[in-house]
Structures are given as structure tokens and as C-alpha cells.
């Protein structure tokens, strides 16, 4: 039993600042790589694919074509001898502009059969937004309309920790009917037949970034009022309440998977958008039958203790725990604990129902109302007593100024 007289000796949450969970991986853009074809028809097909993908860099494209040419007996440049090939290769190395005309000529000859309904033809990748377990997310622009979107590029293999890009898009499309203001919309999807196969999800672009950066900036500007906490936390809860009503649990709710979009009307609060459904699971099928889970999923700092321990759990209540952690961070700018285990003293005290004592010891009582204390306490507790999202939205805290329900 922790002696409450020594609460002031507990690590203050500022000693363990919330950190953005990044994926340590090399950023990649899907590119067509030419396998070893077995006949001339495959040479032509792979060349067309490469032209479709790499049309913005003619020097690199021509260099690749020359490599194929050397391997497959002058299929693409039938009139080039060995000396001519050497001269062209030197020009490639120097990057002379005259090669642009040559590559455009090749593209014109072969391009009549190129499928222009590919993501590379439809969208230009402007800048990297973030890396993911399966690939990367880019700010992209539709080449004809100029519309800005978020392009999530993913490759699927068995090492993706349960993430499935096809399943994620299907989940988001399911949730789009009838849809909800506080969810990221999926606008289009593409499958790029490369090696490996890449999946493109064209998503609504949230122009204010993720909730992590939003919270950081809000606290830096001293704008974390109780009304703002109520406004944004109620939007998060409404998004989770909606997906649960559709029979789906998220299982990886955290600030990095929540996004912010500005509104056209000045003075109105930004709109919260829940996204990244890579780990989402259906807990209820269309016939109404429900199920529980046992696999550990999500991010450690936001993971419910029953999930961490791989016990059988209700995905809705696991999401409710994560929402409680997010609200605590929204209020304080810091995580309530590091890991959901008894080895973490702060977790042990909060899980034991003593959150208010800790907040007093940390001298943060001015940031909480009694209703807010109660709401977070009833989310960060054992699953038997935890509020689900329907119950949370009926909590007195969400009846004050700034509530959206």
C-alpha cells in the first residue's frame, strides 16, 4: 500500500513528458522495380509501368531503361550499338537536358497504352507528413483539381504487427456510412501492382496536424481552459461513440491518431478527426453477435491494463481507457503514467481510485473541475467499473459550456 503522506515524493508528470511515438524506419516512396522478365512482352510491360511511375524524373527513368536494354538485347532502343549505348550512359550520368526530349519520345511511343488512372498520374506527392508501420503519409495534391489530400501509402507483409492496409480502408469505408463529422473521410483507394504491392488510401487532409501537436501548442500558448478541454474531449468521445455504435473498436487511440481541421468560420473551434484504423477490429457483426479479444494491441502508454496483460477484454472499454489517458494529457500536457502495470507507482495509485490525491500532490488542482476529476477517474479504472462511451457522453462534465452534444 502506498503511503499517501509521501505523495509529494512521487515523480511529477513533468518528469515524464509525453513523447510522440515515432516509427524508426526509412521513408520510402513506392517505385516500380523491374524484375527479371521471362520474355519480350514482360520487358515492354515493366517498362510502361516504370514510365508511369517515374515520369517526373526522365534521367532516372532513361537510366533504368538503358539497364533493361543491355540485359534484353536492345528491345527499347533497337538501333543503338554498343558505342551509342556507352555515349547515352555518359549523358545519363551528366544529366544533360537533351535526354528529356528522348525520354518524352519514348513515353509517347509507349505511353498510348499506359493506364493514366493510377495514383502517380492523379496525385503529386508534396511533402512527407509522417512515417507509419506500413509505409508513410504524404501531403498530396490532385493534379487536375488542385485539391490537397493526405495520401497514406502502405505495403502489406507478415511483419506489420497485425496492420492490414486493405482492411483499414474497408473499415473506414464502412464507417463512412452514414459517416460522422469527427472521423477522417476516405476519398479514394488504389492498388499499385509493383513488387511489393503498394496500397494508396486518399484521405481527407486535416490542415492543423495531429492532436499531439495541437495539445503542445495549446499549452505553450496557455490556452488550455476548462471550456476548451470540454470542447475537444467531447468531440473525441463522440467519434469513439459513433464507431462503437457501428460495431467497431479502434484499439489504438492516442493523440498521434487524432487530427485537427480548421473551420471556415472564424472564432469556431477546430474539428477533431479520429483516424488511423490500422488496428481496428469489429466486435459485433451485422447480425448483432458480439465478441471479446485477447491479443495485445495499441500503444503502451495508452493501453488498458487488461489489454497489456493479454486478458480477455471488451474492445469498447479498452478504447474508453485510452480516451481517459488522452483527456488527461489534454488537461495537463503530460501523461498520467508510463506503463499500465503495478510496477509504475503512479499507475498503481490512479488505478486504485486515488487520482485526486495525486493531482493535489502535483499541485494541479486548478486545472480540474470536480466533474472532470470524476470523469477521468471513471475512465481510468478497472474494466468492471469503467464508463463506456455512451455513459461518458451523459457525464455531467459534458453538460457545461463548450460541449458539442
**Residue pLDDT, tens place only, 180-212:** 999 999 999 998 776 677 889 999 999 999 999
Alpha-helical segments (H) within 95-145 = 98-111, 119-122
First-last CA distance in the chain: 40
pLDDT above 80 (res 346): yes
Average pLDDT over residues 273-277: 95
Q: 201-224: buried (b, 16+ CB within 10 Å) or exposed (e) per residue?
A: bbbbbbeeebbbebbbebbeeeeb
C-alpha dist (Å) from residue 365 to 112, 272, 355: 69, 26, 11
Average pLDDT over residues 258-276: 86
Higher pLDDT, 200 or 43: 200
| Residue 210: strand pairing partners | 259
State how far the Cα of 36 lies from the Cα of 6, in Å rounded to an integer.
69
Coil, helix or strand for 259? strand
Report the pLDDT value the prediction gives residue 356, as an integer from 0 to 100. Answer: 84
Report the pLDDT value the prediction gives residue 400, as an integer from 0 to 100. Answer: 65
| Residue 100: strand pairing partners | none
* Domains of the chain: residue spans and CATH: 8-20+207-399 (1.10.510.10), 40-111 (no CATH), 119-203 (3.30.200.20)
Average pLDDT over residues 265-283: 87
State how far the Cα of 295 lies from the Cα of 56, in Å rounded to an integer.
44
> pLDDT band at 135, cuts 50/70/90?
confident
Q: Which of 304, 239, 310 is CA-nearest to residue 277?
A: 239
- State the DSSP H helix or E strand holding residue 198, giving kind and residue range, or none if neither: strand 198-203
pLDDT above 60 (res 72): no
Higher pLDDT, 370 or 33: 370
Q: Provide the 10 A C-beta neighbour count for residue 341.
A: 14
Report the pLDDT value the prediction gives residue 23, as an integer from 0 to 100. Answer: 43
Report the pLDDT value the prediction gives residue 127, as an integer from 0 to 100. Answer: 87
**Residue pLDDT, tens place only, 301-313:** 999 999 999 999 9
pLDDT above 60 (res 99): no
Q: Which of 405, 238, 396 is CA-nearest to residue 323?
A: 238
**Residue pLDDT, tens place only, 313-345:** 999 999 999 999 999 999 999 899 988 988 888
Residue pair 185/193 in contact (Cβ under 8 Å)? The answer is no
> pLDDT band at 1, cuts 50/70/90?
very low
Lowest mean pLDDT among 2-16, 80-94, 363-377: 2-16
**Residue pLDDT, tens place only, 139-190:** 999 988 999 999 998 886 655 555 688 899 999 999 998 899 999 999 999 9
The whole model's pTM is what?
A: 0.74
**Residue pLDDT, tens place only, 215-225:** 999 888 888 88
Report the pLDDT value the prediction gives residue 173, as an integer from 0 to 100. Answer: 92
pLDDT above 80 (res 34): no
Amino acid at each position: 500500500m502506498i503511503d499517501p503522506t509521501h505523495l509529494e515524493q512521487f515523480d511529477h508528470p513533468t518528469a515524464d513528458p509525453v513523447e510522440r511515438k515515432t516509427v524508426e524506419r526509412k521513408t520510402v516512396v513506392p517505385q516500380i522495380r523491374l524484375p527479371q522478365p521471362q520474355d519480350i512482352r514482360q520487358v515492354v510491360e515493366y517498362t510502361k509501368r516504370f514510365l508511369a511511375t517515374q515520369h517526373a524524373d526522365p534521367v532516372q527513368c532513361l537510366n533504368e531503361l538503358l539497364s533493361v536494354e543491355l540485359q534484353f538485347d536492345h528491345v527499347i532502343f533497337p538501333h543503338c550499338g554498343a558505342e551509342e549505348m556507352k555515349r547515352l550512359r555518359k549523358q545519363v550520368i551528366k544529366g544533360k537536358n537533351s535526354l528529356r526530349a528522348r525520354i518524352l519520345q519514348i513515353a509517347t511511343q509507349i505511353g498510348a497504352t499506359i493506364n493514366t488512372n493510377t495514383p502517380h498520374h492523379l496525385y503529386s506527392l508534396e511533402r512527407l507528413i509522417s512515417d507509419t508501420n506500413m509505409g508513410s503519409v504524404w501531403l498530396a495534391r490532385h493534379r487536375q483539381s488542385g485539391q490537397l489530400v493526405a495520401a497514406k501509402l502502405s505495403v502489406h507483409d507478415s511483419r506489420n504487427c497485425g496492420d492490414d492496409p486493405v482492411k483499414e480502408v474497408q473499415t473506414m469505408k464502412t464507417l463512412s456510412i452514414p459517416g460522422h463529422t469527427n472521423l477522417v473521410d476516405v476519398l479514394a483507394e488504389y492498388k499499385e501492382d509493383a513488387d511489393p504491392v503498394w496500397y494508396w488510401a486518399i484521405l481527407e487532409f486535416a490542415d492543423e496536424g495531429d492532436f499531439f501537436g495541437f495539445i503542445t501548442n495549446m499549452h505553450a500558448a496557455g490556452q488550455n481552459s476548462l471550456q476548451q478541454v470540454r470542447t475537444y474531449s467531447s468531440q473525441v468521445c463522440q467519434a469513439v461513440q459513433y464507431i462503437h455504435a457501428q460495431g467497431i473498436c479502434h484499439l489504438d487511440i492516442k493523440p498521434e491518431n487524432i487530427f485537427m481541421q480548421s473551420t471556415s468560420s472564424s472564432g469556431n473551434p477546430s474539428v477533431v478527426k479520429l483516424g488511423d484504423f490500422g488496428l481496428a477490429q469489429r466486435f459485433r457483426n451485422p447480425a448483432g453477435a458480439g465478441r471479446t479479444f485477447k491479443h495485445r494491441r495499441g500503444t503502451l502508454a495508452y493501453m488498458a491494463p487488461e489489454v497489456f496483460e493479454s486478458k480477455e477484454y471488451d474492445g469498447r472499454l479498452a478504447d474508453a481507457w485510452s480516451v481517459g489517458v488522452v483527456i488527461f494529457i489534454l488537461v495537463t500536457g503530460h501523461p498520467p503514467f508510463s506503463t499500465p502495470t503495478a510496477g509504475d507507482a503512479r499507475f498503481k495509485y490512479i488505478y486504485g481510485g486515488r487520482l485526486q490525491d495525486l493531482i493535489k500532490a502535483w499541485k494541479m488542482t486548478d486545472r480540474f473541475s470536480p466533474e472532470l476529476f470524476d470523469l477521468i477517474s471513471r475512465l481510468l479504472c478497472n474494466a468492471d467499473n469503467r464508463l463506456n462511451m455512451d455513459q461518458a457522453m451523459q457525464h455531467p462534465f459534458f453538460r457545461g459550456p463548450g460541449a458539442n452534444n
